[in-house]
Amino acid sequence: MSTLSSLSTALNSAMSALKASQAGLSVASNNIANVNTPGYSRQRIMLQEAPTIGDTISVGTGVHILGTEAIRDQLIERRIWNETSGKSASDLTHQSLTDIENLFNEAGNTGLLPLISNFYNSFQKLSTNPSSPELRQQVISSATALTQSINSRANELRDMRTSIDRSIGEDVSKANILIGQIAEVSKQIHEAEATEPANDLRDQRTSLIKKLSEVMNVKELDSNGTYQLTTGNGRPLVIAGTAIPLAVGTSSGGLTTVLSGPHDITSEFSSGTLAARVALRDQTIPKYQQSLDQLAFDLATQVNQLHSVSYDQDGNTGTNFFNPIAAVPGAALSLQVNSVVAADPRKIAAASQPGGTDNEAAIALGNLVNATNPPRGTITDQYRGLVFQIGSETASVQVDFNQHESTLTQLENMRASLSGVSIDEETASILQFQRAYQASARVITTIDQLLQVTLAMGTAGA
Amino acid sequence: MRITDDSNYRNLLLDIQRIAERMQNAQSQVSSGKRLNRPSDDASASADVVSIDAERATNAQYLDNAASAQSRLEVADNALDGVQLVIERIRSLGQLAQSGNTPSATSTYEINQLRDQILSAANTVFEGQSIFAGSKTDGAAYVKAGNGTVSYSGDSMVTKLQTGRATSIQSQIPGDQIFSGSIDIFQTITDLMNAINTGDKAGIQTGVTNLGTLSQTVSSVRTQVGGLINSAAAAQSDLRQTELTQVAQLSRLRDADLSRALSDFSQSQIALQAATAVGARVSSISLLDYLK
């Protein structure tokens, strides 16, 4: 091997080292730049020694830059998506339950219970003086306060349910936008990775799926070059770069449904805001509506049964105190004092005898506060049950939310531990490449001097 | 484990959030004085509060009823006390007339006055209600006609008030059990006055005897009323006792343990200070500080 060719080999390998150091510096710089970018996976430069040449002594020819690799564990990412779905579902459920809880909060001064007690007590008061117009009016006032309060709670539950139903459609639109973006990015990844790993695009897709996970739980299948994203139940969302958007329909009951092609998948979601909204709309809120309806129905029925066989101040009988309610569903919305009675308090049937002067019916009506209605117990027992149910359900969702939050933080920490950028580490790496760059530059200077010596030798010999 | 800047901040944030939540909880307990601010704070305690609150409201009404019954009965007792004295006076006037010691006109004039006194006692009104008229409390119990005859316009219904879940107390005694039962007091007195006027000794004797029976009736009704007053008073003291128990139960269920809430608060405050201080330290340490 000639001196010149071996010097130029050395020059080349020093040049490759300079390039490698520069590349290393720019990777470190990119990592630092993205230290706060959500979903960013730190990258590492991949270097390989260049092949050796020479016949007598083999010498390496420098360093090859193979490219960059992103440090990520897809398994952790998938667990993060899963936990994100769980957290967003319990967060939303907790918010809604807190709203419902406010309707049945007896801690303040606006509870329903004092109104129930006042209503029954107003009959007991009337029993002390059944002919008093003031006490009769008081019965009407306390009954009206009670019915209005039950009506407004029933109204709020109904409005909550309607607004949640509307949000289901909004969730689907939000999901469809994300599905479209994921499909687009998947297509780009497929094209780009024909040549080299598309780290940034993969990071981008991971972030998009995490956003989608807030809406619904998803599954990813990335094998044999075909990328698939499906719902938790396997309904396709993205197949090989093509988006398969969900659609919104209307059920026979006028409620929003979620469609995947021809299939109604409304109740298939197990977590994410979509699942939470469907559960609130179809189970949770109807359950509290049913409890309140039952309470209103029993209240009106018990009072009417007694009132309609008792006698009013003019000795007439057969009047209902509340407008009769035919069925339990919707009872809380329609509960109302009979307008005939409300307009004329003399029509309150306080007497058990046709004379209309005694107080026995008033006592009996007041005593309904203790009347049990098997298996539901008294009206107060029913209300107690409602308060217990909303209280314990809200508390358990709060626990659920805290658990998801902790697990998610743990997973994010695991992810950060693997894929996150550490400024200290990058600083060290900059130092490392800086020194390598300085050393390579030194090598080039040295070779330059040697080449000059060699060239001067040639001139002297000629 | 590889520690990154990101996870430092995330942990710090979560810790601070949790501590702030605890602080807020303690703070709302201190400011409201209540441990239960929403049903989810303690669902079963909240449910118990509903039941006890309802019982307490009903109990308060029973207490009102028992007090009202007692007042009515006391008014009745007062009226009957007067009636008894008047009956005795009429009886002695009758006895005097029988012995012929007083001019008949003087006796009958006074007896007539006394009869009106009994009438007014029989029409005693409490809070706008005739307490001796049975259930027909909005009108007078006894009505005096133009010719002086007095008739009962009430009924025989015995009025009760509810003073417990399964107990009630009679609050009124209808006039036909006192003034116009088997013997009508007003007719008896009218007959007596007629007998005195006509000097009918046998008639006077019948009147005096009947008045004796009436006096006994009033006396036994007063004994009954006294018994009822006692039970109304006893019911009230029972109900007050129940109320005290209920108030204590409610307080135990929903009032905040202030010293605990305050110590929770200061504990979380210290934790928060520590967490933020450590957080600030951690993020200020960097390799960059040592490379010059």
| Yes or no, beta carbons of A357 and B155 under 8 Å apart | yes
- Contact between A409 and B10 using a beta-carbon 8 Å cutoff: yes
With an 8 Å Cβ cutoff, are B14 and A405 in contact?
yes
Contact A392 B43 (CB under 8 A): yes
Q: Which residue has the tokens 């007998």?
A: B195
Nearest by CB to B135, from A102, A358, A390: name it.
A358
E strand segments, B83-232 = 125-126, 129-130, 142-144, 150-152, 160-162, 168-170
Q: Which residues in chain A have Cβ-Cβ distances shorter than 8 Å to B68?
A: 128
Calculate the dihedral angle through the C-alpha atoms of B5, B10, B16, B22, rounding to the nearest 10 degrees: -160
pTM: 0.86
What was the pLDDT predicted at B6? Answer: 75
CB contact under 8 A, A395 and B5: no
Residues in chain B with CB shorter than 8 Å from the CB of A314 are none
Contact A105 B34 (CB under 8 A): no
- Please answer yes or no on whether B39 and A394 come within 8 Å at the CB atom: yes
Which residues in chain A are closer than 8 Å to B127, comparing Cβ atoms?
Answer: 129
Of A117, A387, A422, Cβ closest to residue B5: A422
Neighboring chain A residues of B44 at a CB cutoff of 8 Å: 388, 391-392
Instruction: Tell me which residue in B5, B42, B138 faces A35 most closely, judged by beta carbons.
Output: B5
Print pLDDT tens along chain A (462 aa): 566 677 888 888 899 999 999 999 999 999 999 988 888 999 999 999 888 877 777 788 889 998 899 998 999 999 999 999 999 999 999 999 999 999 999 887 789 999 999 999 999 999 999 999 999 999 999 999 999 999 999 999 999 999 999 999 999 999 999 999 999 999 999 999 888 888 899 999 999 999 999 999 999 998 877 899 999 999 999 998 999 999 999 999 999 999 999 999 999 999 999 999 999 999 999 999 999 999 999 999 999 999 999 999 999 999 999 999 999 999 999 999 999 999 999 999 999 999 899 999 999 999 999 998 888 999 999 999 999 999 999 999 999 999 999 999 999 989 988 998 988 889 999 999 999 999 999 999 999 998 888 888 866 554
pLDDT of residue A3: 64
3-state secondary structure of B196: helix
- How far A423 CA lies from chain B's nearest CA (Å)? 7
In a mutagenesis test of the B interface, which of A357, A379, A380, A392 is the best target, namely the one with the most B β-carbons within 10 Å? A357
Tell me B131's DSSP state.
T
By CA distance, what is B162's nearest residue in A?
A: A363
Residue A392: closest C-alpha in chain B: B43
Q: What is the pLDDT of residue A2?
A: 63
**Residues recorded for chain A:** 462
Least CB-CB distance to B7: which of A98, A106, A413?
A413
Contact call for B54 and A390, based on CB within 8 A: no
User: Is A101 close to B68, i.e. CB distance below 8 A?
Assistant: no
Q: Which residues contact A461 (CB under 8 A, 6 or more apart)?
A: none
* Contact at CB, B54 and A380, closer than 8 angstroms: yes
Of B37, B57, B161, the CB nearest to A128: B161
Contacts of B62 in chain A (CB under 8 A): 124
Report pLDDT for A462: 44
CA-based nearest distance A60→chain B, Å: 34
Cβ atoms of A278 and A172 within 8 Å: the answer is no
Residues of chain B with Cβ-Cβ distance to A406 below 8 Å are 14
Burial class (CB in 10 A: 0-12, 13-18, 19+), A406: middle
Q: How far is A439 from chain B (nearest CA, A)?
A: 19
**Residues of chain B contacting A423 with CB distance shorter than 8 Å:** 5, 286-288
B10·A413 Cβ contact <8 A: yes
Residue A102: predicted pLDDT: 93
> Which tokens belong to B196?
């005195």
Residue length of chain B: 292
Considering only the beta carbons, identify the residue of B46, B64, B254 that sits closest to A391.
B46
pLDDT of residue A256: 96
Q: Is the CB of B128 less than 8 angstroms away from the CB of A129?
A: yes
DSSP string, B243-265: HHHHHHHHHHHHB--HHHHHHHH
Taking contacts as CB-CB distances below 8 angstroms, the residues of chain B near A424 are: 286-287
Q: Which residues of chain B have pLDDT under 50?
A: none
Contacts of A395 in chain B (CB under 8 A): 40-41, 43
Considering only CB atoms, A388 lies closest to which of B14, B47, B286, namely B47
Task: Say yes or no for a CB contact (<8 Å) between B129 and A36.
Answer: no
Nearest to A113 among B37, B50, B137 (CB): B50
Distance CA A17, CA A443 (A): 10
Respond yes or no on whether the N-terminal peptide bond of residue A375 is cis (omega within 30° of 0): yes
